[in-house]
Structure 1
Amino acid sequence: MGRFLESHVVLTKAFFSSGDVIADRRADYARMLAEGGDHAAAAELMDQALEIAPEWAAGWDLLGNFHEKAGNVSGAISAWRRLEALDDDGVFGARLKLAAHNAGAAGEGTAVSYVEALFDQYAPQFEDSLVGKLGYRVPEMLDAMVNEQMAALGIERFAKAIDLGCGTGLMGEKLREKVDFLEGVDISAAMIAETARKGIYDNLQKAELVAALNARRAEADLMTAADVFIYCGDLRPVLAALVPALKPGGLVTFSLEAHDGEEAIFLRPSLRYAHGVAATRDALVVAGLEVLRFETAVLRFDRGAPITGILVLARKPAVELTAANDGASGGHVAA
């Protein structure tokens, strides 16, 4: 996917209006005040709007964000708790926002509705923001690792590659010339629509990551995931679905945001997960992958500060261990 979003993006998908003209007008004034930097006054106006339209989920999301930017964390938490109660589908990511402020548990899986809505909204300006403003180079770095490994292993081309979280095709553009059949998978319909116009992929599928992988068996020679697993949390379910979808000997390369602590993962205020270096190595081994490259690098910048991440290139064993054991016992081993 190769994607990064500023943490201050506010979702409006399908919820821009409260249904009340006066509440909407006050919310508009609140947004104007926030754009001018007066977040405390914006929060005060949003309080007034929500007195009129107390069931407006997007309004509570705005109020929480205004409070957060004004430095009123307790007010933000209160707004997000109300939001969580109103937003059954989790589109606004209230659970993640609460967890990022130590006010709840994030869970270990992807907040599917939130991520889908976030990137549906962000798709039109995605590349300009990511590449033009944030110095994003993950597709180039992953592609360089793949090229070096192709040379080392004597691979001329890949028959089939799957670009997980393909977004607008930044990773796919790097892969296209060395892949016979290139497939892109993304949770966001708007991202799929953006990349479809470029004609990079032979096939595009709108699907949740793990569900898409679970439907496949030994069909890809290469899988890529540029800044995708930062929204997934626990790596283990993702890798457990990914490995069976790779052909024996197939390669996978991906990026993560990194931290040096003992925790396997933690949720940043940006609502992206950072993965522990040691825990990531362990997860790869448990998944049965052979690690070919594992290194840290600056992935991009966030408000002028470098974001350090992990770049991984791994290979599925050419012979399954269970098959090898069967062969040692006299059974047939398929190469």
Structure 2
Amino acid sequence: MSADRRYEWGQGALAAGDAEGARDLFAQALDCAPDWPAGWFALAQALERLEKLGEAREAYSKTLALDPEDAQGAALALARLGGAKPATAPRAYVKTLFDQYAARFDTHLVEKLGYRGPQVLCEAMERAAPGRRFAHVLDLGCGAGLFAAAIVSRAQKITGVDLSPAMIEQARAKGLYERLAAADLTDFLAAEPAESADLAAAADVFVYVGDLGAVFAGVFRTLRPGGLFAFTTQSGPSQGFAVGDDLRFSHSESYLRELSAIHGFAVAEFCAVSTRKDRGVDVPGWAAVLRKSE
């Protein structure tokens, strides 16, 4: 209880801008519980705010050593500070994040962050393929089912997949899906029948995937000829992909276009968009609609 109390006080201090006070409180919490990954991660955040980057790297590395599955996302934080760049966000981090977020997901995302990813994707698809309807939609990283609600009038059946079981239960409650799976995205695509879907959509999902090669390959195999692959990403580096301060991946336009060509997709629509806000400011991104060759 002593460690928990100091941790909570430290989080309050950090939120209030008192990074020095937060550092001291997190250090006191770790005196009580020296092998607590969340405590080390919080200490690293405070040290980073104080611009003690070497000490912050050490604390993030300690977090990762104590929890190799990385529920805190320490590998992403280290990449942001110049460490090795992971191909994807750790599964344990994404699952933990969204299992905790599930009950308030719809309200917080739409009302607090101004999220409009499904609307952005549907508008992009309408420009690429006006009036098109879909026999089978794959909702990749379906979350609580916001994209399914936006596309249901144009879909005969919808299959959803998400890494978080709690999010899958939120989606199930909407009654929009024929089938739902709690699984890793690439594992799910590998198990789907070839040429079985007309549309694969990923709204605000690739912020947790840096290297998109395996996903593009899996989607191409799963789509029927002429099928569409619609997705949003955050925009960031001039080349490749990067981890931002928000521990999310951003992708360059050149990377996405090159990957599309490599995997046999034609670009039907590609535009600059924003799907959400961060502290009241639009987060820049891309919306893309790709078409599998006939």
TM range (shorter): over 0.9
TM-score by length of 1: 0.82
1:306 aligns with 282
Shift of 1:196: 1.3
TM-score by length of 2: 0.93
Detail structure 1 runs of 4+ shifted over 4 Å in the superposition.
Answer: none
1:121 aligns with 100
Shift of 1:96: 0.7
Matching of residues 196-215 of structure 1 within 5 Å: 196-215=172-191
Matching of residues 48-87 of structure 1 within 5 Å: 48-87=28-67
Contact 1:101 1:269 in 2 (8 A): no
Aligned in 2, Cα 1:237/1:59: closer, same or farther, shift over 3 Å? same
The runs of 5 or more residues in structure 2 that have no matched partner are: none
Contact 2:41 2:59 in 1 (8 A): yes
Contact 2:158 2:178 in 1 (8 A): yes
1:329 aligns with none
Shift of 1:134: 2.0
2:165 aligns with 189
2:232 aligns with 255
Matching of residues 1-335 of structure 1 within 5 Å: 21-102=1-82, 104-151=83-130, 155=132, 157-216=133-192, 217-259=194-236, 261=238, 263-318=239-294
Q: Deviations over 1:221-262 (max 9, x none)?
A: 11100011121101212101110011111111001111351x
Cα distance in 2, alignment partners of residues 28 and 311 from structure 1: 39
Contact 2:73 2:89 in 1 (8 A): no
Contact 1:165 1:228 in 2 (8 A): yes
Partner letter of residue 210 of structure 2? G
Cα distance in 2, alignment partners of residues 204 and 306 from structure 1: 31
Moved more, 111-120 or 281-290: 111-120
Cα distance in 2, alignment partners of residues 28 and 243 from structure 1: 46
Cα distance in 1, alignment partners of residues 17 and 98 from structure 2: 25
> SS of 1:107's equivalent?
coil
Aligned in 2, Cα 1:94/1:180: closer, same or farther, shift over 3 Å? same
Shift of 1:35: 4.3
Shift of 1:71: 4.3
> SS of 1:299's equivalent?
coil
The runs of 5 or more residues in structure 1 that have no matched partner are: 1-20, 319-335
Cα distance in 1, alignment partners of residues 116 and 145 from structure 2: 13
Shift of 1:194: 1.3
Contact 1:187 1:207 in 2 (8 A): yes
Shift of 1:52: 2.4
Shift of 1:70: 4.3
Partner letter of residue 33 of structure 1? A
Shift of 1:159: 1.1
Contact 2:71 2:92 in 1 (8 A): yes
Aligned in 2, Cα 1:123/1:69: closer, same or farther, shift over 3 Å? farther
Cα distance in 1, alignment partners of residues 214 and 89 from structure 2: 11
Cα distance in 2, alignment partners of residues 113 and 260 from structure 1: 26
1:10 aligns with none
> SS of 2:284's equivalent?
strand
Aligned in 2, Cα 1:295/1:193: closer, same or farther, shift over 3 Å? same
> SS of 1:176's equivalent?
helix
Partner letter of residue 10 of structure 2? A
Aligned in 2, Cα 1:176/1:66: closer, same or farther, shift over 3 Å? same
Q: Percent identity?
A: 37
Shift of 1:73: 3.3
Partner letter of residue 230 of structure 1? V
> SS of 2:88's equivalent?
coil
